[in-house]
Structure 1
Amino acid sequence: MIVKKIQANFLILLGAIALIPAISFPGLSQLSEAAIQRVIGAGLMSEYPDGSFHGERGITRAELAAILVKTFQLQQRAIVDENAASSLVDVSSAHWAYDDIQWVVKTGIMSGYRPGYFYPDRPISRAEGFAIFTQAYGVLPLGDAEVDRILKRYADGDRVPYWARQAIATALIEELVNLEGTQSISPLQPMTRSDMVYGLYRYLEKQQNPGTIPDFPVD
């Protein structure tokens, strides 16, 4: 009964947002410095020792793991595989993000590129970063048709990797993706700290105003 109610509410949501006219999403450059300070104040990211945020710099897999644990309190989630993290040969107990990597792997939010290897210092692409972020956030039960309709609105929507399509479509609906006022997702470009702070800022906004309908057309 509960499942049917959730499905019904989701269909109502899709119908409602289909009636909303197309808009251009503001990028991080259109947000105030307060957005960065809010994310820092929430303890989700921090400045560098020189006191600058350096939004142009990329995000590594280890950094993403640390951000996800802080943002979504992954320590409180059910463990999918207790032994998954212990088999990682490239993440020693001395690594600064060791505990965070343990949690993202145990909960199934992140995994290695191949058995035993997490590649903690490897930079991530926007497709990977937003897809993993949305995995922790919660992927909407979108069908292939809905995903196609969402992604085709963007010139490079067909460049989103197959494994990330549903998650990226969810991230777009939930307005977590920094598009800088364009119609390009840039899925294969490196994910920057600015991209991440944008998604985090939007997430914090949603926590303050839960249940709002995203301003995103699905038609």
Structure 2
Amino acid sequence: MSSLSRFPALSASLVTLGLAASLTPPALAQNTFPDVPRDYWAKPFIERLAQRNIIIGYPDGTFRPEQAVQRDEFAAMIRQAFAQEPVRQIEDASVFQDVPQGHWASPAIESAYQQGFMSGYPGGFFAPNQPVSRVDALITLTRGLNLAPETRRVVRRPVYLPLAMTSLMQPLVAAVPQPTTPVAALAKDYYVDAQQIPQYAINDVGIATQKNLVVNYPNPRALEPNQPLRRATAAAFIHQTLVAQDRMEPLPSNVEAYNYIVRPEVTQAAR
């Protein structure tokens, strides 16, 4: 993989959530998928993103909502959904050793790295096939979009080798304690499984919760932070992030999926 300067931007059909980890192109975007039933909990999120060509299906027309999302796929989702100015650069000719030239997601991976959403691992590795956890997805969104300004790392000079600096390098970051903040307290108070949230992630989860980015099915108060991110949940998280940015209308309250959006202010008011 070479730098973005050496690759033209891929078309939307090549860098969206519908891509599998192969060179097979996805099917055209569509509003309905045969494996997303009418009563499927995440159908409104999926269809809304499909209408904007943010997500598409596979060549067989399916969406595979319960399939786990890999890091390369998540990079593709981010590139399609968000337009951010770069905060760091990859020098010409530098590479992620495990993302070969011609990899379907290489431009999306470089874009997600340069925009500050995702990072690599020591030695210049990206681990493109590694599953993304639910908590990793929330951290990626809050930090990449600067929703938590104190955690955003801005690099104005070229970075010669991608290094692990964010949540997706868990073993190193987990050792760094974070102070108790109001948003951290919110997360600890709201989720019934808050003790499973990694310490390094608690503030980011609190921010995501406060801004209504989190969608939990079937129990809004069960985060399951370390479980794999499913494609349906990824669509829901991205939808809610776009809503928080005023780039998409909120779901109406009479839609069942609305009930799975975490709204801690409603719970607190009901007490």
Same structural fold, with TM-score higher than 0.5 when normalized by the shorter chain:
yes
Are 2:70 and 2:131, in contact at CA under 8 Å, matched by a contact in 1?
yes
> Are 2:85 and 1:47 aligned?
no
What 5-or-longer segments of structure 2 have no aligned partner?
1-38, 151-178, 251-261
> Are 2:116 and 1:78 aligned?
no
Which structure's relative contact order is higher, taking Cα pairs within 8 Å and 6+ residues apart?
Answer: 1
* C-alpha distance in 2 between matches for 1:85 and 1:131: 29
> Are 2:119 and 1:119 aligned?
no
AA paired with 2:264?
A: F
AA paired with 2:143?
A: Q
Aligned residues: 186
1:215 CA drift (Å): 4.2
> Are 2:111 and 1:103 aligned?
yes
The RMSD of aligned alpha carbons is: 2.7
Are 2:118 and 2:140, in contact at CA under 8 Å, matched by a contact in 1?
yes
> Between Structure 1 and Structure 2, which shows a larger proportion of helix residues?
1
1:85 CA drift (Å): 8.8
* C-alpha distance in 1 between matches for 2:235 and 2:93: 27
What 5-or-longer segments of structure 1 have no aligned partner?
1-27
* C-alpha distance in 2 between matches for 1:165 and 1:81: 28
Q: 1:59 aligns with which of 54, 60, 69?
A: 69
* C-alpha distance in 1 between matches for 2:107 and 2:131: 19
Pairs within 5 Å for 1:178-189: 178-180=215-217, 181-189=219-227
* C-alpha distance in 2 between matches for 1:156 and 1:29: 24
* C-alpha distance in 2 between matches for 1:85 and 1:169: 39
Q: Deviations along 1:170-196, whole A, 9 cap, x unmatched?
A: 111122222123321101100000111
Percent identity for Structure 1 against Structure 2: 26
Q: Equivalent residue for 1:151?
A: 187
Are 2:183 and 2:210, in contact at CA under 8 Å, matched by a contact in 1?
no
Q: 1:175 aligns with which of 199, 212, 215?
A: 212
Are 1:85 and 1:106, in contact at CA under 8 Å, matched by a contact in 2?
no
* C-alpha distance in 2 between matches for 1:137 and 1:29: 29
* C-alpha distance in 1 between matches for 2:56 and 2:63: 7
Q: Say which SS state the counterpart of residue 197 (structure 1) adopts.
A: helix
- TM-score if structure 2 supplies the norm length? 0.61
AA paired with 1:133?
A: L
1:141 CA drift (Å): 5.5
Q: Deviations along 1:88-147, whole A, 9 cap, x unmatched?
A: 111122100001111111222211132310001111111111211222233246873213
- TM-score if structure 1 supplies the norm length? 0.74
Q: In 2 relative to 1, CA 179–84 (structure 1 residues): closer, same or farther, beyond 3 Å?
A: farther
* C-alpha distance in 2 between matches for 1:126 and 1:88: 24
> Are 2:100 and 1:92 aligned?
yes
